[in-house]
């Protein structure tokens, strides 16, 4: 158009020169409103001339409007721009060709270039370490950069990355005029088409922006410095077992001791003749007294020898089962004790946000402008409201960036509240830092676009779903969290978390011991009945012997008894000898009492 106007003006000057001699043009000044005498003539020549220029026919009507021009109608196709018709003078449209509309595909964003605003924050967006001077998108690397690249390859769009000017995510600074700062403000003002970073989807931001589906889930947690002092205890040897297991071990010790004492006194095979040379009167002694039974049990538990040895089947059964119980318990204790003595336990002064809110010794804060601070300010939970009031009262605990918060944590006596994704990145590389407790809330990172541009958000959400289905997002997270830039440096060995053995670990051993003790008691009763059934002459003799023997067994005063012989009325078998009669015992008395 500029070229055609110059051509038209030159032709008007030539026509003016042919029709009138122009000696010179006067000086024209805008200040004194002076004008040339031939200006009207030049305009008239320009109105009357017709020139075919680059823009077609150049011709003006009497009022000075270019009314007789032709516009080409172009349509964008995969082959480029193609003419399909024209707009003729008089606003008449002439369509000469029709290109069928192509179906909507994933190439909807093709041939479009977008400005993307982001923020420098590890590992999402970082500056590259390079000896060469880099320009454009090549200056940056990180999870967000790879994510944008993968998304652009799927949706076929180009982009330009720029870091947000004020270094903020975006909060509302003026509610009356709806003014936002940070990345949100740049999208709202049109400086950027979309914001791709660790930008949290919140209800307040959703009112002024359109968000895609979240490409990463996260939540607020606590970044804290690991204590340097280890906990030492004089009674660390008790750590391998829980208090419940130790209680059951004591019960098992006392129970087995009592069973050995009762069964040993009831069984006739555990009584020894003190003086076998005296046939007229026998004095027998039992070694399984209450104290001796407890000594035998504790010696077995400590895997030491003992001068007492069981002889009857009942006592040997109880002893064998207790030996098995001792074998398993001592082996479990020894194995777990080694781990507890070599690994010193670290005790943290806080375990959760509730512990943090209760105390006053440790300071805590978060990012000054962001969703974390908004979460505490708008929360209705008492603990979080108390924490919000603390941060409002002490503004020095609020940090300008996550990096500043990490530096403050390193100084000690400070806990920084930030989202779990960057915390996991830091703790993978900074071995002196750790994450305390779980997540305070659950939210996600999304791509923010200008309100009303739902088509763009929909296509971006579709691209995010494809990347999730293909496992690309998981691969990118593994790459930038655990591999790149020193990832995986602070992976703790599994032995670092030794737990005490509870009843669920060794409960089966107690069950076996209980069954064995009951079996031994049953065998002791059978031995007791069998001995008297074999030698007694009548039912009355059996009952009397049983009652007196049980009374003596349950009496803990003595382990020595005097045995008087008595004569049976008649032996039922002729093969019975006098020795059998001499073995009959009746009429117990306490030997110690005479």
Contact 95, 73 (CB under 8 A): yes
Continuous segment of H or E residues that includes residue 211: strand 209-211
Contact 353, 387 (CB under 8 A): yes
Work out whether strand 158-163 and strand 113-118 pair parallel, antiparallel, or are unpaired.
parallel
497 is in an annotated binding site: no
289 is in an annotated binding site: no
Contact 115, 159 (CB under 8 A): yes
What b/e string do you get for 403-440 counting C-beta neighbours within 10 Å, with b at 16 or more?
eebbebbeeeebbbbbbbbbbbbbbbbbeebbbbbeeb
221 is in an annotated binding site: no
Angle ∠(467,371,192) on CA atoms, nearest 5 = 60
Q: What is the largest CA-CA distance in the chain?
A: 178
Closest CA to 549 of 540, 564, 561: 561
205 is in an annotated binding site: yes
Alpha helices in 382-502 (DSSP H): 382-393, 402-411, 420-427, 454-469, 472-482
- Rounded-to-integer distance, Cα 180 and Cα 186, Å: 8
41 is in an annotated binding site: no
Q: Is 217 helix (H, G, I), strand (E, B) or coil?
A: strand
What b/e string do you get for 126-144 counting C-beta neighbours within 10 Å, with b at 16 or more?
beeeeeeeeeebeebbbbb
Instruction: Provide the angle, in degrees to the nearest 10, between the axes of the packed helices 143-155 and 472-482.
Output: 160
Specify binding-site residues.
200, 205, 371-372, 419
Specify binding-site residues for L-glutamate.
200, 205, 371-372, 419
């Amino acid at each position: 158009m500029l070229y055609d106007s110059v051509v038209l003006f030159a032709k008007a000057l030539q026509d003016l020169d042919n029709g009138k001699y122009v000696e010179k043009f006067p000086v024209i000044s805008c200040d004194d409103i002076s004008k040339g005498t031939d200006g009207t003539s030049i305009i008239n020549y320009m109105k009357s001339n017709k020139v075919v220029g680059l823009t077609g026919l150049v011709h003006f009507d009497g009022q000075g409007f270019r009314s007789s021009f032709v516009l080409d109608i172009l349509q964008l196709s995969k082959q480029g721009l193609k003419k399909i018709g024209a707009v003729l003078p008089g606003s008449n449209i002439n369509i000469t060709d029709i290109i069928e509309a192509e179906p909507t595909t994933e190439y909807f964003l093709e041939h479009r270039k977008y400005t993307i605003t982001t923020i420098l924050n590890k590992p999402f967006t970082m500056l590259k370490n390079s000896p060469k001077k880099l320009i454009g998108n090549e200056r940056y690397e990180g999870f967000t950069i790879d994510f944008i690249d993968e998304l652009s390859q799927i949706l076929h769009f180009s982009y330009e990355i720029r870091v947000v000017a004020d270094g903020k995510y975006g909060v509302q600074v003026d509610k009356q005029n709806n003014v936002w700062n940070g990345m949100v403000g740049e999208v709202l003002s049109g400086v950027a088409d979309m914001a791709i970073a660790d930008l949290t989807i919140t209800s307040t931001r959703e009112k002024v922006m359109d968000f895609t589906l979240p490409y990463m889930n996260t939540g607020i947690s606590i970044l804290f410095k690991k204590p340097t002092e280890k906990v030492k205890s004089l009674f660390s040897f008790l750590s391998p077992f829980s208090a419940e297991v130790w209680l059951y071990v004591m019960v098992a010790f006392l129970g087995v001791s009592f069973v050995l004492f009762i069964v040993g006194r009831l069984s006739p095979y555990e009584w020894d003749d003190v003086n076998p040379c005296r046939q007229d009167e026998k004095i027998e002694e039992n070694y399984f007294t209450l104290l001796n039974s407890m000594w035998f049990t504790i010696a077995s538990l400590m895997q030491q020898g003992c001068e007492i040895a069981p002889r009857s089947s009942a006592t040997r059964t109880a002893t064998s089962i207790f030996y098995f119980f001792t074998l398993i318990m001592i082996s479990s204790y020894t194995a777990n004790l080694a781990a507890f003595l070599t690994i010193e336990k670290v005790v943290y002064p806080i375990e959760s946000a509730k512990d943090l809110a209760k105390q006053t010794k440790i300071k805590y804060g978060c990012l000054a402008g962001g969703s974390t601070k908004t979460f505490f300010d708008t929360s209705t939970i008492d603990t979080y409201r108390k924490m919000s009031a603390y941060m409002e009262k002490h503004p020095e605990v609020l940090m300008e960036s996550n990096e500043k918060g990490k530096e403050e944590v390193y100084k000690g006596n400070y806990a920084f509240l930030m989202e779990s994704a960057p915390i996991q990145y830091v703790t993978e590389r900074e071995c002196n830092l750790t994450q305390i407790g779980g997540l305070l809330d659950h939210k996600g990172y999304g791509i923010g676009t200008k309100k009303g541009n739902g088509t763009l958000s929909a296509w971006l959400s579709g691209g995010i779903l494809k990347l999730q289905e293909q496992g690309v997002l998981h691969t990118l997270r593994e790459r930038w969290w655990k591999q790149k830039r020193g990832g995986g440096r602070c992976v703790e060995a599994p032995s670092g978390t030794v737990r005490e053995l509870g009843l669920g670990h060794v409960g089966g051993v107690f069950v076996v011991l209980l069954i064995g003790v009951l079996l031994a008691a049953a065998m002791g009763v059978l031995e007791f009945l069998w001995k008297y059934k074999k030698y007694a002459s009548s039912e009355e003799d059996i009952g009397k012997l049983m009652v007196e023997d049980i009374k003596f067994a349950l009496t803990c005063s003595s382990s020595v008894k005097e045995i008087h012989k008595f004569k049976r009325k008649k032996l039922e078998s002729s093969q019975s000898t006098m020795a059998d009669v001499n073995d009959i015992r009746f009429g117990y008395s306490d030997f110690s009492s005479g």
